[in-house]
Amino acid sequence: MKFASRLVSGKLLRRYKRFLADIELEDGTVVVAHCTNSGSMKSCIKEGAPVLLSVAEDPKRKTRFTWEMIYINNGWVGVNTLMPNRLVYDAISNNTLDSLLGYDIIKREVKFGDSRFDIYCENDIEKCFIEVKNVTMKVGNSALFPDAVTERGRKHLETLIKVKEQGLRAVMVYVIQRMDVSSFGLASDIDPDYSDSLRRAIRNGVEIMALQARVYPVGIEIVNHLPIIF
């Protein structure tokens, strides 16, 4: 997946109010960028680190810039939580994701019960609901999720169990937007309830996938599946 236009370089001054970040551009101008990540962003916040921003096309938007990635530990880490959804959707649409092949109908933002899932797929054989989560937290050599308590995330897991109970395919996809990790796991110390729900989802037949994505200034690409270690 390529970015629509060239990203703007700067350095992180601070992140605040969860959804805002002060960025100093190369010419010394300080701008406010929108941060889509509502988590703690633990292990991907470093004041003074290089960052890249996209520029909003809508002139009416309050914040002109969106924070896309930060350079940490000798590599780019993707912090825009909207990108994994687009990445997985494109991969399914183009039949390039070997674990989710052969769907004729692919839609975004489809409701099931009281939840709305990121992707819905269908073919002559099955119907499939997919939820996608962005993962950025690194502990040792592992990417862990979540980096903050997520009641919404737990609700998605509970609904995926209901999807499976109705004989449909249910898939939870974690996209790890960094290359300096070699496995995926749970941050049980941060949100034990989420960890319990994920384990229960697995026992009930919900499929779990951990996809590692390479993030670079012109785009993002899925490169491999990471082993899942709980």
Q: Do domains 8-78 and 83-225 have the same CATH topology?
A: no
Give mean pLDDT, residues 164-181.
97
pLDDT of residue 114: 85
pLDDT tens by residue, 135-160: 999 999 999 999 999 999 999 999 99
CATH 2.40.50.580 fits 8-78, yes or no: yes
The domains of the chain are located at 8-78, 83-225
pLDDT band with cut points at 50, 70 and 90 for residue 74? very high
18: which 2 tokens? 């969860």
pLDDT of residue 60: 74
pLDDT tens by residue, 130-141: 999 999 999 999
Q: What is the pTM of this model?
A: 0.94
CA angle 215, 81, 200 (to 5 degrees): 110
How many angstroms separate the CA atoms of 58 and 36, rounded? Answer: 16
93: which 2 tokens? 């649409």
- 131: which residues sit within 8 A by CB, 6+ positions away? 117, 118, 119, 156, 157, 160, 171, 172, 173
pLDDT tens by residue, 26-52: 999 999 999 999 889 999 999 999 999
CATH of domain 83-225: 3.40.1350.60
